[in-house]
Structure 1
Amino acid sequence: MITSSRLKYRQLLSSDENESLTMAQNGEVMVYITGAALSLKEAKERFLYQLSVNKEYKDLGFIRAESLDTGEFIGYVKMTPLNSNELEIGYAILPKFWGKGYASEMLVAMEDFAATLKSFDKLVGIADTANKPSIKVLLKRNFTLQKENNKKSYYIKHLH
């Protein structure tokens, strides 16, 4: 199991459905991911997709982040292969936990884990160009802007 100073991480499971649906239907969270809150039907489809990705990749995919102390759901990290040597990394955090350093903590934990995966040598963070807080976190972690198109910014970090 991966842990950081305040969080522990594991792949999303079917038992995480209610928390995932709540997050996917939250407009504040989803505005920079899908453009808007999802309907219940769309949220369920998204959750099934997340579970299917997790079946395909051991230790990668959509990873639940919860409090080490209380087990409370904070959000999740997405870490999926883009190609044979790049992993896409992203995260979603419940609004009540924004501004508390969780995004940076999640990113550091996943960077450290990704560095142990010898087949991948780059992390790619894709952020909506309007999502200044996420861009700030990526830059703080030494990701560099590679390109921007269609309101998306692509940031790269070399692992090795």
Structure 2
Amino acid sequence: MNSERLLFRHYAATDFEDYFKLVSNADVMKMVTGKPDLELDARKRLQKMLKINQEYPKIGNFKISLKLDSDFVGHAKLVMTKKNEAEIGYLLMPEHWGKGYGSEIAEALVNLAKQVDEIQSLMANIAPENIASKRILEKQGFVWDYDGEYIGLPAAYYKMKL
């Protein structure tokens, strides 16, 4: 899967360095878990993502790079959450914020989801104060569903029927 400016590929075990650079960044993780990941936690999560990618080869967790120069941009996911529902998500390195990559990633994930028969709806959760992600989701057709929690932090949940 690719978009206009970005390359998407399933993670490999050799991608740990880039993945850890992303999830150990306090600015990136501020809106996700509230704190940067420790190395051991990041290693465990990458292993879990690799297993998900094997189980669901059409969708999963993707390393995102620029087509232009292969620079690491971030992470994207399209993963099953329950029967007929998948979750989208994305994280970008701070140097790539504000360039429209979040919108490009979200659009590519929605388009991919539409190609998978088992997926009838999408969900996403974001920090309520993350206005940029709120705009991205709404632009793709997501609507606010409810406010709740994600790993003990406030979260706004969005849904989209396909």
* TM-score over 0.5 (shorter chain): yes
Q: Normalized against structure 1, the TM-score is what?
A: 0.93
2:160 equivalent among 154, 157, 160: 157
After TM superposition, what 4+ stretches of structure 1 lie above 4 angstroms from structure 2? none
3-state SS of paired residue (1:23): helix
Once the two structures are superposed, residues 26-70 of structure 1 have per-residue CA deviations (whole angstroms, 9 ceiling, x without a partner) of: 011111222210122222222222222222211322111111121
* 1:99-150: CA deviation from partner (whole Å, max 9, x where unpaired): 0000000011111111011111111111111222111211122210011112
Matched, 1:105 2:104: yes
- Count of residues in Structure 1 that have an aligned counterpart in Structure 2: 158
CA distance in 1, matches of 2:68, 2:111: 22
* RMSD after superposition: 1.2
- Give the Cα separation in 2 of the matches to 1:98 and 1:46: 23
Aligned to 1:116: 115
Larger displacement relative to structure 2 (67-76 or 88-97)? 67-76
Give the distance between the partners of 1:24 and 1:142, measured in 2 at CA. 27
Contact 1:11 1:59 in 2 (8 A): no
Equivalent residue for 2:62? 63
AA partner of residue 154 (structure 1): Y
How many angstroms apart in 2 are the aligned matches of 1:50 and 1:76?
11
Name the CA distance, whole Å, in 2 between partners of 1:131 and 1:45.
Answer: 27
Superposed counterparts of 1:20-59, under 5 Å: 20-59=19-58
- State the 1:75 CA deviation: 0.6
* AA matched with 1:158: K
Partner letter of residue 160 of structure 2?
Answer: K
Distance 1:86 1:20 in 2: 26
Identical-pair percentage: 28
Whole-angstrom distance in 2 between the partners of 1:48 and 1:80: 15
